Structure 1
């Protein structure tokens, strides 16, 4: 499965130096979306909806995340939930509101 470029552009922000670079997840998502066109934002929202609408299970979503450009896993081991993380990420993408400082 080839992942959409708009998703890859977002996941590249999840790299090993993530913690000191952004104070909040909202800040990371807002910065990632800064260069997206309105059409790209909509394509990302549509893909995030597809990922979280129930058609993929936890194992499949983890495989998708591992195929992305992300260098870190924002969920850990069996106790972490990729499903819940992607739902949270979807919410941030849909809101796309600059974080408060």
Structure 2
């Protein structure tokens, strides 16, 4: 599975110094989307919706996250929940990305 470029670029902001670089998840999303074109923002929003619309189970979402450019995991072993984490990120992205006209 090839992950969309906007998603790979977005997940690259989830690096080992995330807690030092960003004071909140909202700040991370704002920074990540700052240089995205409107088309890249829409593509990211659409892919985030696809990831969280129920077509993928928890294990599939974990595999997708592991294939991304993220260095930080929203889960550890059986703990944590990648599904809920991606839903939360989708909500933050949707706040920053205007509806399509």
Using the size of structure 1 for normalisation, the TM-score is 0.92
Aligned to 2:95: 95
**Distance (whole Å) between structure 2 residues aligned to residue 30 and residue 93 of structure 1:** 9
Alignment length (residue pairs): 97
User: What SS does the corresponding residue of 1:32 show, helix, strand or coil?
Assistant: helix
Is the counterpart of residue 74 in structure 1 residue 74 in structure 2?
yes
Describe how 1:43-62 pairs up with structure 2 within 5 A.
Answer: 43-62=43-62
Displacement of 1:2: 0.3
Deviation at 1:45, TM superposition (A): 0.4
Q: CA deviation at 1:68?
A: 0.3
Name the structure 2 match of 1:28.
28
1:17 aligns with 17
Q: In angstroms, what is the RMSD of aligned CA positions?
A: 1.1
CA–CA separation in structure 2 for the residues paired with 1:79 and 1:68: 20
Rounded Cα–Cα distance in structure 2 between residues aligned with 1:7 and 1:80:
21
Tell me how far 1:76 sits from its aligned partner. 2.8
| Residue segments in structure 1 that go unaligned for 5+ positions in a row | none
Provide the C-alpha distance between the structure 2 equivalents of 1:71 and 1:79, rounded to a whole number of angstroms. Answer: 17
Unmatched segments (≥5 aa) in structure 2: none
